[in-house]
Chains A and B, each alone.
Chain A
Amino acid sequence: MSQFLEISGLCARIDADGQEKQILRGVDLTIPPGEVHAIMGPNGCGKSTLSYVLAGREDYEVTAGSVTFKGQDLLAMEPEERAAAGLFLAFQSPIELPGVNNANFLRTAVNAVRRARGLEELDAVAFLKMAREAAKSLSMAPDMLKRNVNVGFSGGEKKRNEVLQMTLLQPSFAILDETDSGLDVDALRIVAEGVNRLRSPDFSALVITHHQKLLDYLVPDRIHVMAKGRIILSGGPELAKKIDQEGYTKFLAEAA
């Protein structure tokens, strides 16, 4: 039986201004159920590309390798099918949807996913109750549900809104792409607590970050260092502290 998430030899490129640019150059990564893994690495090493490719963004072309998710060929699925299967991506820069009410958006998304998972759709009352509780647990102002999706939100509010969506969509695998960037210490703790609340034997996560701070709160099971489109080093939580103290350069030199 295959692992929960298994990435093997994954290569992907993007067509940037007419030039093919190879970004992922053979990523191998396995995440068992119930584990939280972190990916660290210098800017431009392919961390965000990996998250987009896993979520199914069409701009990236997968040139080699495979990804299986709960025994299914993830790369053959549409983005919304991946979402229904339990994959969630917390965006590094959440997108604004002018005129679209946040609560309506959330409910549409939750019901789309519930439908696909064979669950009954939630009516407006049941959904709002659930959404209000979730928002409260993330210390979000109640009016954020009434505002337009991410429009006029501060950086911190946008990130919290991502975690709110994650809480409501109940994914089995979440990718958090630099969800800690632009957050102050208090917000960071609230967001980390939001993720920790989801932790269970049925929930795994891949956390992309630059900073040790988030990992203090999240405490990952494994840490991977990525450079030039590959995972060059993996280890326990102590690895993050080492990187924090010594920087990437030493690891990159060793890997080369």
Chain B
Amino acid sequence: MPAVTETREAVEKLGQSTYKWGFETDIQMDLAPKGLNEDIVRLISARKNEPEWLLEWRLTAFRKWQSMKEPTWAKVSYPPIDYQDAHYYAAPRKKEGPKSLDEVDPELLKTYEKLGIPLHEQALLAGVELPEGETARPPVAVDAVFDSVSVVTTFRKTLEEAGVIFCPISEAVQEHPELVRKYLGSVVPVADNFYAALNSAVFTDGSFVYVPKGVRCPMELSTYFRINARNTGQFERTLIVVEDGASVSYLEGCTAPMRDENQLHAAVVELVAMEDASIKYSTVQNWYPGDSEGRGGIYNFVTKRGACRGARSKISWTQVETGSAITWKYPSCILQGDGSVGEFYSVAVTNNCQQADTGTKMIHIGRNTRSTIIAKTISAGRSDSTYRGLVRVQPKASGARNFTQCDSLLIGDECGAHTVPYIESRNMAARIEHEATTSKISEDQLFYCRQRGLSEEDAVGLIVNGFCRDVLKELPMEFAVEAQKLLQISLEGSVG
């Protein structure tokens, strides 16, 4: 199994440091002063040359946020966050002018190169010589977001020819204001929750995708988020709108330097799928998780929601969550259109002192709506992981069906795994199934593998990947290999 071999090699390469993405890029930054008030919100809006309506939208969000309280119902604990002690705007300093790869700071390009993110269209298109046995990577269009700002978006020409818009959301505000205004906040309202309101007030960038009627997006779209600056929060906003009969597959990856202090990441992702449209949204979340004693790491408080507005539309969330000190995240589907489909496939790994409270919400509104939830939770070290999910069937959702499966795998005896399913059905004709299991990697399994010649690390990797198979097979091929590696790296040292 090449993936396992690769995993082993990846682990070997790591040597002492377990988080290989933990480097810092030395680059000149534009920083807003620390703290959060109306002036900062105005400053962000001004820096972005935003129209009046968007500034008002931000200010509404900010005022609502001031009256809101941080949610406390999740099974996570952390010291109080001082929201005045962070920078809310950090951007790599750059010259004026249109964006092209040549004008991007070479330091930035190097950063993404180090991260293995392909930003050079040429190299990809020219089909650089590949080692024997390797097939060419299909091209992926990338929007690279560095701290608060999108630095480059590749393959825009190819996409434009197909009619697909893929650009930083700050640019979409300028170029396609009617689309942004129509859909922004239409799935996640400004005051939806504490973190969403905060994001609405101060979001600085993110990706915007628009796929017109009947178009199948010709390539995978991908956004790569990188937090670099110290004491900054990252608040990106992603909006994806897919019209009738169109489809798109979107990937999201993220990393951050290793730092002793905690950093806040509060993103909002909104998806809109019209009639017969389909959106596949995949995430490999690998923010810095903190060290083995729980120092540092990202607080990942994210709101992701998709609306299946049209009949027979489909939204599929797949996530592999290995990073962050704390994860608070519930990618959800609002199944409005008759016969619409929502899917949630999740692998959440926690090790050392990480805490994760993650799951989904499936809201069945239309008739014959269907949802599937497969959640795999792996806990190791002293970590704590919770699956929290809601399945709600509204009175008119006749024929609604849900299937939920939650499996937890424990490694060692100091970790915790919890499953908290909420099921609310207001329609007698709905069918809801829930299955849950908890298991441990047994000594028998490890010994069996080792007797066959596998090292302990390889054995754990094999067993964990087997446990997650139902989810990993939902990921696009490239991401699946990446995810398998990550799983093993995240669990390194957790056995024995």
Contacts and interface: CB of A to CB of B under 8 A. Distances in A.
Contacts of B467: 98-99
B470 interface: yes
Contacts of B5: 108, 111, 121
B454 interface: yes
A112 B458 contact: yes
Contact of B454 (A57, A80, A165): A80
Given A94-B448, A108-B4, A111-B5, A99 B453 contact: no
B452 A83 contact: yes
Contacts of A169: 452-453
B468 interface: yes
Contacts of B77: none
For A56, A59, A80, A113, the residue with the greatest tally of chain B CB atoms inside 10 Å of its CB is: A80
A113 B450 CA distance: 10
A108 B448 contact: no
A140 interface: no
Interface string A97-111: 111110011011111
B1 interface: yes
A79 interface: yes
B451 A108 contact: no
Given A104-B1, A111-B5, A97 B466 contact: yes
Given A80-B455, A109-B454, A169-B453, A57 B1 contact: no
A79 B451 contact: yes
B454 A108 contact: yes
Interface string B388-424: 0000000000000000000000000000000000000
B443 interface: yes
Interface residues of B, number: 28
Interface in B445-489: 445, 447-456, 458, 462-463, 465-470
A130 interface: no
A112 B454 contact: yes
A148 B466 contact: yes
Contacts of B456: 80
Contacts of B433: none
Nearest to B464: A99
A116 B466 contact: no
For B445, B451, B458, the residue with the greatest tally of chain A CB atoms inside 10 Å of its CB is: B451
A59 B443 contact: yes
B412 to A, nearest CB: 15
A83 B451 contact: yes
A80 B453 contact: yes
B213 to A, nearest CB: 40
B12 interface: no
Contacts of B1: 101, 104-105, 107-108
B178 interface: no
Nearest to A99: B466
Contact of A89 (B451, B454, B463, B469): B451
Contacts of A98: 466-467
B454 to A, nearest CB: 5
Contact of B452 (A58, A59, A101, A165): A165
A99 B470 contact: yes
A57 B447 contact: yes
A79 B449 CA distance: 9
Nearest to B456: A80
Interface SS of chain B: helix
Nearest to A113: B453
Contacts of B469: 99
A108 B7 CA distance: 12
A83 B454 CA distance: 9
A80 B458 CA distance: 11
A136 to B, nearest CB: 21
A98 B448 CA distance: 13
B129 interface: no
Nearest to A116: B453
Contacts of B445: 95, 97
B444 interface: yes
A165 B452 CA distance: 8
B472 to A, nearest CB: 9
A55 B451 contact: yes
Interface string B433-446: 00000000011110
Contacts of A97: 445, 448-449, 462-463, 466
B491 to A, nearest CB: 16
Nearest to B2: A124
A50 B351 CA distance: 36
Contacts of B442: 95
A55 B444 CA distance: 13
Nearest to B461: A108
A99 B454 contact: no
A121 B470 CA distance: 28
A95 to B, nearest CB: 4
A95 B453 contact: no
A158 B453 CA distance: 19
A20 to B, nearest CB: 19
A78 B442 CA distance: 18
Nearest to A87: B451
A203 interface: no
Nearest to B467: A99
Contacts of A80: 450-451, 453-456
Nearest to A121: B5
Interface string B1-36: 110110000000000000000000000000000000
Interface in A34-74: 55-59
Interface in A162-204: 165, 169
Given A95-B444, A97-B445, A109 B452 contact: yes
A84 interface: yes
Given A58-B447, A83-B450, A148-B466, 5 more contacts: A55-B447, A99-B469, A105-B1, A107-B1, A113-B453
22 contacts: A79-B447, A79-B450, A80-B451, A80-B456, A83-B450, A83-B453, A91-B448, A95-B447, A95-B448, A97-B466, A99-B465, A99-B466, A99-B467, A100-B462, A100-B466, A105-B1, A112-B452, A112-B453, A112-B455, A113-B452, A113-B453, A148-B466
What 10 pairs across the A-B complex have the smallest Cβ distances?
A: A99-B466, A100-B466, A109-B452, A113-B453, A95-B448, A83-B453, A79-B450, A104-B1, A99-B469, A112-B453
